[in-house]
Amino acid sequence: MSSTEQPVSRIVSAVPPARPVRVGAGERLRTVRLSGLTLTVRSRPPIRDGLPPALYVHGLGGSSQNWSLLMEPLAERVDGEALDLPGFGDSPPPDDGDYSIPGHARAVIRYLDASGRGPVHLVGNSLGGAVSTRVAALRPDLVRTLTLVSPALPELPPQITAVPTGLLAVPGVTRLFTRLTRDWDAERRTREAMALTYGNPSQVSPENFALAVEEFKRKLALPYFWDSLTRSARGLVDSYTLGGQHSMWRQAERVLAPTLLVYGMRDQLVSYRMAQRAGAAFRDSRLLTLVDAGHVAMMEYPEAVAQGMRELLDDVTGREGRAGREGREDGGRRGDPGRRTAPVPGTDGSGAARG
């Protein structure tokens, strides 16, 4: 596919969802079809034209809806879009069945190449954080800044509370789990998921809990839901075993973009102890620690995460402005044609005296 290929917005009926996907107030949803790949993109129009683009990438079992609470306060700063990764949300499975971290990263890269929106402020959570790290390492031209919320980078040994999720990667475990939990309704499954991912699930409003239950019902009705979840979990675990230049930590060291790392101290899936290692791996990073947050800080404390991103954007904009001014000054001293200089009185502008 040519890097200039433009995404086509149209509804496709590859595997129709059992229920319509929720679209929040002020949001838009569209379907983008590329060769062998169909992606659903959620967007919130910015409050004014000309704002820089941002792209949000969700975690394992999630969807673009995970970013709605963060996209709203950031609409004043970025032109935000959130992807449903292949096999999640309203995106059907990929034609090639590749749910590996490289496979998901290719999907993100292909979308950015086709849409022409890069470089973007790239934001990822959990598995989406691992995917975003790989995108930033492989294609620095597409990433202006990187924000990682509890990124699922290799943690060995993992904390005990994360082991059951990792076991989904083992053949047969998902089938066993679904058999053991066949009596669980969507409400029970939602409560269990929130208990694992939220620092304090009791803070979830009844309205947001009801919406989460409806989304779980929709996902359970999809014939490929458990397969997408299992294969993506397996792809994530496989990425932990890679060594050398393909290691996820080696990929992190290659990232050039200024990076914001967001960790919750109540995270049961990605230990807060990994914040120190991540801070050392990402060469230009800053850390935001949220004491009461769990694994999905952007859903639990969206304003705190938004403020951290605003500060990152301010820092980068300031750096770029200073670099631009210094470049123009240096270029002017070298006779750079991009720098305009006022003629010296009594000369023709070249330094030669007139008259």
* Residue 94 in domain: yes
What the block records as the tokens of 108 is 């993100």
* Confidence class for position 355, pLDDT limits 50, 70, 90: very low
Higher pLDDT, 178 or 201: 201
Q: Quick one: average pLDDT of 116-122?
A: 96
User: What is the structure's pLDDT at 351?
Assistant: 32
Q: Quick one: average pLDDT of 95-107?
A: 97
pLDDT 10s digits, 67-78? 999 999 999 999
pLDDT 10s digits, 220-268? 999 999 999 999 999 999 998 888 888 999 999 999 999 999 999 999 9
Does residue 188 have a pLDDT over 50? yes
* Residue 3 in domain: no
**Residue 304 CB coordination number (10 Å):** 16
Ranges of beta strands (E only) in 21-63 are: 28-34, 37-44, 53-57
Query: Can you say how many angstroms the Cα of residue 331 is from the centroid of all Cα atoms in its chain?
Result: 37
* Residue 79 in domain: yes
* Confidence class for position 346, pLDDT limits 50, 70, 90: very low
Does residue 116 have a pLDDT over 70? yes
Does residue 25 have a pLDDT over 80? yes
Q: Quick one: average pLDDT of 157-174?
A: 80
Residue 33: which CATH number? 3.40.50.1820
Burial class (CB in 10 A: 0-12, 13-18, 19+), 236: buried
Does residue 348 have a pLDDT over 50? no
DSSP 60: T
Element at 165 (helix H, strand E): helix 163-166
Distance CA 63, CA 56 (A): 10
What the block records as the tokens of 75 is 């609409």
Distance CA 42, CA 27 (A): 7
Number of domains comprising the chain: 1
* Confidence class for position 111, pLDDT limits 50, 70, 90: very high
For tokens 């003629």, name the residue.
Answer: 343
Distance CA 122, CA 337 (A): 34
Q: What is the DSSP string of 227-254?
A: HHHHHHHHHHHHHHT--GGGSHHHHHHH
* Residue 101 in domain: yes
What the block records as the tokens of 77 is 């700063």
Higher pLDDT, 161 or 306: 306
DSSP 12: -
* Confidence class for position 282, pLDDT limits 50, 70, 90: very high
* Residue 1 in domain: no
Q: Quick one: average pLDDT of 185-209?
A: 95
* Residue 353 in domain: no
pLDDT 10s digits, 58-67? 999 999 999 9
Does residue 302 have a pLDDT over 60? yes
* Residue 345 in domain: no
Check: CB of residue 262 under 8 Å from CB of residue 290.
yes
Does residue 88 have a pLDDT over 90? yes
Does residue 107 have a pLDDT over 60? yes
* Confidence class for position 336, pLDDT limits 50, 70, 90: very low
User: What is the structure's pLDDT at 332?
Assistant: 52
Element at 143 (helix H, strand E): strand 143-149
Higher pLDDT, 183 or 347: 183
Domain of residue 186 covers 8-317
Share of the chain above pLDDT 70, in %: 86
* Confidence class for position 331, pLDDT limits 50, 70, 90: low
* Confidence class for position 169, pLDDT limits 50, 70, 90: confident
Does residue 121 have a pLDDT over 80? yes
* Residue 276 in domain: yes
* Confidence class for position 4, pLDDT limits 50, 70, 90: very low
Instruction: Assign 3-class secondary structure to 253-277.
Output: HHCCCCEEEEEECCCCCCCCCHHHH
